[in-house]
A = this chain, B = another copy of it.
Amino acid sequence: MKAKAVFYHAGCPICVTAEQSIANAIDPSRYDLEFVHLGEEKARVAEAESVGVKSVPALLIDDTPFHINFGASISDLK
């Protein structure tokens, strides 16, 4: 069974770069990766915060949030 991973972003340039490089490099045979645009899916901002996401882009993997460079603070997406 594949593990679930979530890439939270907001469409910012730094987010796009991280998506194209890191998110797309994740092994699709082991991870089921979901892409969530927090600017468009405001309802999921609270979910992201609840798992520890403080800024985007961030990759939630193995239930741990990893902030990748810095595009925008999650507080600016509310």
Contacts and interface: CB of A to CB of B under 8 A. Distances in A.
Q: Which 10 A-B pairs have the closest CB atoms?
A: A27-B27, A21-B62, A21-B61, A25-B26, A66-B68, A67-B69, A22-B66, A21-B64, A68-B68, A66-B69
A34 B66 CA distance: 20
A73 interface: no
A8 to B, nearest CB: 14
Contacts of A21: 61-62, 64, 66
Interface in A50-76: 59, 61-62, 64, 66-69
Contacts of A67: 68-69
Contact of A25 (B5, B17, B20, B69): B5
